[in-house]
Structures are given as C-alpha cells and as structure tokens.
Amino acid sequence: MAKGTSNRTVTRGRFITFEGGEGAGKSTQIKLLAERLNAARIRTLLTREPGGSPGAEIMRHMILSGIGALIGGPEAETLLFAAARDDHVHTVIEPALAQGFWVLCDRFSDSTRAYQGQMGEVAPALLNAMQRVTIGDLKPDLTLILDVPVEIGVKRAATRRGTAAPDRFEAESLEFHRRLREAYRQIAVDEPQRCVLIDANAKLKPVAAKVWAAVQQRLLSSKLNEVQHA
C-alpha cells in the first residue's frame, strides 16, 4: 500500500426523499432534518427535483414554466423529467452516496408517478422505461410523504410565493390537487417498507419530530448496529 493511503472502507450513505403536494412543507422539513443529522455528525447533502445539478436546473425552468405541457403534454413532461433526473442522479446523487453522504432530496421519482402517471395518465410502460434508464436500481432508503389537506396546502403555497405567478403545477385546480393527494397516499399504502406518511397539518416542531422519529426507526437504528458490529 502506498504511503499516506488508507484501507478504511467508506460506508455508502443513505438516500431519503421528501414527497407531497404543493405547500406540504417539504423544503422546510428537509432543512430541519439536515440540521439534526449534521448535529449527529452525519454528513448530509440537500438537493431537489426537478433540478439539483447544473443541467437539471436548466430543465427545471422549462418544466415549471409549462413548456413541456404546451409542446407535448404529460408525455413530453415525463421525458424532460427523465433527462433532468438522469443528469442529477449521475452527477450529484450517486457520487455523494458513494462518498458516505446522506442525500436528502426534495421530490424524486414518486413525484413523476403521481403528477405525470396518475394525474397525466402517462402509460406505466413509459414511466417504467424512463426509470430504468435514469435511475436503474437506485431507490430511496426512506421516503417521507408529507400529507396536508389540499385547501391548507394551496393556501401555504400562495403565501410562500407572494406576488409571484404560480408555476405550472401550483396553477392547477383544487380537484387536481385533491386527486394528487390521494395518489401520494396510495403510494404510501403500496410501499410501506419504504414510505412513511407524515401528517403535516401541524406546526413545524411537531411535524419535524415525526420526521425525526421515522428516520430514527427506519435508518438510524440500523446504522447503530453497523457501528457496533464493525
């Protein structure tokens, strides 16, 4: 072994995604979780979709401006999301996980299944094909689905953006957002080993406590066992 090198193996990081409808509080809760993990000396990387890498951020503007919906409907949006996700995964997420970082991502592939799949009625075959190309076997270790009543979430989103115009998805009808909420709740039912449904209709600290409890139960207990048996 060359002088100055180490044979210490870097443990692969964990991948946590936050999902939910508009105004569910994902951006706030992901930051609070990062603070708690950093306090526990766990290195974290915060990212988001669409976006998260230079190439994907360019596509984010196109998607949220509604260009995809205008030029080809939900299928075109799905392709834009796939291109953005491919760049994001290969240039940001996978390298960070390999270096031992815990990656916290505001939205991921479940958003595509909820928005373009359930709401846009994009064929499952196309969604599955895009997923194989963009993320392969990569799946979140834990997905936290923040759930709020639609009227509250839409009001929060409006307050957050102030005088700015709503984006492509914020501008949808209340009925759209009600169906979207049900799509997310169904994802939680279908994949209970990966997903935890969090009641986010509360103040910040109680919701943050639920998020932290889910992370402790699902991931930190196994991390402790890894350390004890190392």
* Per-residue confidence band for 7, with pLDDT thresholds at 50, 70 and 90: low
pLDDT digits (tens, 9 = 90+) for 33-84: 999 999 999 999 999 999 999 999 988 888 888 776 667 678 888 888 899 9
| Alpha carbon distances (Å) from 218 to 6, 32, 128, 137, 222 | 31, 18, 26, 20, 7
pLDDT at 230 over 50: no
Tell me how far apart the alpha carbons of residues 13 and 126 are, in angstroms, rounded to a whole number: 30
Give pLDDT, residue 161: 81
- Greatest mean pLDDT among 158-162, 172-176, 214-218 lies in 214-218
Tell me how far apart the alpha carbons of residues 93 and 44 are, in angstroms, rounded to a whole number: 11
Give pLDDT, residue 3: 53
pLDDT digits (tens, 9 = 90+) for 195-228: 999 999 999 999 999 999 999 999 987 554 444 4
pLDDT digits (tens, 9 = 90+) for 94-148: 999 999 999 999 999 999 999 989 888 899 999 999 899 899 889 999 999 999 9
Asked if 10 and 141 count as a contact pair (C-beta separation under 8 A), the reply is no
Give pLDDT, residue 198: 98
In this structure, is the dihedral angle defined by the CA atoms of residues 45, 49, 50 and 56, taken in order, positive or negative? positive
Superfamily of domain 15-225 in the CATH hierarchy: P-loop containing nucleotide triphosphate hydrolases (3.40.50.300)
Exposure string of 27-52, with b = 16+ CB inside 10 Å and e = fewer, is ebbbebbbeebeeeebebbebbbbbb
pTM of structure: 0.88
Kindly list the domain boundaries of the chain, sorted by start residue.
Answer: 15-225
Residue 199 is classified by DSSP as: E
